[in-house]
Structures are given as structure tokens and as C-alpha cells.
Amino acid sequence: MDFSFTPDQERYAAQIRKFAEERVAPHYQEGDRTGEPRPGIWSELAEQGLLGLRVPAALGGRGADCVTTGLALEELARADFNACYAVLQAALIADVLASNGSEEQQARWLPGIASGEALVALCLTEPGHGSDAASIELAAEPAGDGRWLLNGVKTSIMLGAYATHGLVFARTGGPGARGVTAFYAALDDAHLTRTRGRDLGGRSAGRAELRFDGLPVGPEDIVGGEGLGFIQVMRGFDYSRALISLMCLAAAGQSIDEAHEHARSRQAFGGPLGRFQGVAFPLAEHATYLRAARLLAYEALWLKDTGSDPAVPANMAKAWAPRAAVEACHQALLTFGQLGWSEELPIAQRLRDVIGLEIGDGTQQVTRLVVARHLLGREYAP
């Protein structure tokens, strides 16, 4: 058993920490106020290698392993949770394309993701189908020449307001999972209407509804094969649940660290706040949960790196970590008293931002369902 990161991983994490502290953290609250990402942020993420983490080095990426990807996301999430979405989506979609795309497709698609020229979004959820994603209805209608036109609505798409490309799940066949095909499509505004969401948190991440009105796609845009969108492509998704867990845990960890600092410096009743067990113990308790959930997430990433199935720990992490993070953010807020409630500090914003990923990419119920099916066996589980 070895819990250490490699020197390369430590070096890259330190590089991202410095970048995140200097270039990203100062704008975290501004993005919440304006509802827009800082201009130029995505090019800077690309320059740091953050958009090409899961793109092979031969195609312009960093060719990083999953553990390194997790480390980089943690460093960024401590500075700006919402800036992580571009990195997360790029890591997830590049991984799917690298695992399921032909060599020609990879050469066509992956360099643009790594360079930041293509900002990518995952287009799965629809107004009528979220957890029950195998029932999606967005139609790929035959255009008569071996091509299709995408018609229908995707909703709750992170970065949807800005994305240039989407991994779009569409129905090409009959009902259920076997009728779904994944397309990597340029999101051409001539065939698309984007409507921004008004949200509790994640305000600079451009969550949007996308109405597809005859967006043309062809066989060259199919990822993994017709009718294999769910069966093959979705299989690659489990590890992103570990990445999301790390994002949430890191943002909460930052708030708990800040609360510890406050408990050292704030004086009450003749001494520092931390001298009271009622202040120190809840922080110790939440730090314990964050640390334990982090191990689960890294176990999942390590399993994927070693070629094993990360599904069980990744889904356990996603079922637990965002909730543990929300509770830790809440405790940190209370430790700051009235200051935590105010918008002077980023503490309250982190709480609002993290709640979103209790829902996004699979709720607690859905991820527990996946775990239960693995542990009990499909025929004995809900």
C-alpha cells in the first residue's frame, strides 16, 4: 500500500496551485456576481495543460493519468469551483473520444479540445428525462443521404451557453438504451437556440437549455457506433463521478481550512475560538469525512489508471462526497458567524456552488442504485 503521489504528480499539482491562486481565485466571486466566466480564462486553462489532461501527448494533450487529473481539479476547485467545469467536461469527453473514436476521429477532434479551440459540453439530460437517461427523446432523424438532423431539447447543459462542440446523445433507433447513439457535433447556432438558466450557484458556468432545430450530423460524427451511445460510450462515465467528488471535497476543504484559520485568529471570551470544543470538534469531524471520501475518489481513479473497473468506488464517492462537502461548507459558514453569511467572503458561495453537484451527473439515489446493483447483483437490486 502506497498513499503517496509521484514526484511528477506533485510538481504538476504545485504548478496548478500557483496558477490557481494567482490567476483564478481572485475572480471567483466576480464570476458569481456577473454570471460570466472571466474573459480569457479558457485559453489560460489550456496553456496550463488543463483542457488536454486526457488527450494523448501525440495529439497535443498532456496525456495525464486519472489521478493527476484529479489532483489538478482539486487545486483548481480550491480557487474557483466553477472554472473546473471546462476542465471536467474536457477530461470526460476527451476520454470518451480517445476510448471510442477511430484514429482519424481522434486526430480530427482531440487537438482542438486540448488547445481550447473547442469548448465542449455533455448533452444528455432532457426536460423529460434526467436520471432515466436511457429514455431520452432528442431525435436523430434520417435526412435521406445517410445523414441525420438532430431535433429536440437538451437541458441543464453545463457550459451550454458557450460550448462550440457537444457530445450529444440522440435516438436513432427504438426505445431504451439500444436506440441511443452518441454524436460529437459542432454546435452551430444556425440550428440551435441556447437559453441560460438562472441558478442558485455555478453562475459563471453557463448552464443552458439547447433547442436543436435540424442540426445536421453524419456517420463521421458518431462516437462508438450506431446504437452504442449508452451501452459503450456511457460506460466511460463512471470515473467522472470520482473527479466531481474531488472538486466538491476540495472546495469544502478550502472552506474548512479557512474556518480553522478563523478559529485561530478570532478572539471571543478571552481567547481564540478554537479553544472551544464546540468550534474545534465539528471542524475536526468534517475534515475527517472529507479526507475519507477523498480516499474513495482516488481509489476509483487509481483503479481506472490500472485498467480495472472504477464503478463501485466512483459511485460510492459520488453518493457521499458532494453531501459531505455541502455539510462541511455549511459548518465552515457557521464557524465564521455573520461574516460567513455575508458575501464579503467566498464561504457562502462555495456552499451554493457545491450543492449543484449533488444533482449533476447522477444524484445520490442514482449513484446508490449503481452501487447496489454491483453489490447485490442486478436481479436482486432495485
Ligand X SMILES: Cc1cc2nc3c(=O)[nH]c(=O)nc-3n(C[C@H](O)[C@H](O)[C@H](O)COP(=O)(O)OP(=O)(O)OC[C@H]3O[C@@H](n4cnc5c(N)ncnc54)[C@H](O)[C@@H]3O)c2cc1C
Q: In the complex with ligand X, which residue's Cβ is closer, 335 or 367?
A: 367
Q: Is-contact 301 242, C-beta < 8 A?
A: yes
User: Applying CB under 6 A, which part among 141-149, 269-277, 284-292, 351-359 lies near ligand X?
Assistant: 351-359
Q: Which of 252, 269, 223, 246 is nearest to 326 (CA)?
A: 252
Cell of 311: 464503478
- Residues 305-344, mask of contacts with ligand X (x by CB under 6 A): ----------------------------------------
Q: What is the phi/psi pair of residue 123, to 5°? A: -110, 90
Applying CB under 6 A, among 31, 61, 229, 360 the residue interacting with ligand X is: 360
Q: Is-contact 87 51, C-beta < 8 A?
A: yes
Applying CB under 6 A, among 68, 172, 356, 371 the residue interacting with ligand X is: 356
CB of 125 to ligand X, least distance (A): 3
Using CB under 6 A, which residues numbered 101 to 160 contact ligand X?
Answer: 122-125, 130-131, 156-158
CB of 283 to ligand X, least distance (A): 27
Query: DSSP string of 314-351?
Result: HHHHHHHHHHHHHHHHHHHHHHTTHHHHSTTSSHHHHH
CB of 356 to ligand X, least distance (A): 3
Q: What is the phi/psi pair of residue 36, to 5°? A: -130, 150
Q: In the complex with ligand X, which residue's Cβ is closer, 101 or 202?
A: 202
CB of 101 to ligand X, least distance (A): 20
Query: To which H or E segment does residue 19 belong?
Result: helix 7-19
Q: Is-contact 124 133, C-beta < 8 A?
A: yes
The reply on whether position 363 binds ligand X by CB under 6 A is yes
CB of 130 to ligand X, least distance (A): 2
Q: In the complex with ligand X, which residue's Cβ is closer, 207 or 330?
A: 207
| Dist CA 259 CA 65 (whole Å) | 32
Q: Binders of ligand X: how many residues, by CB under 6 A? A: 19
Cell of 137: 427523446
Q: Which residues bind ligand X (CB under 6 A)?
A: 122-125, 130-131, 156-158, 202, 356-357, 359-363, 365-366
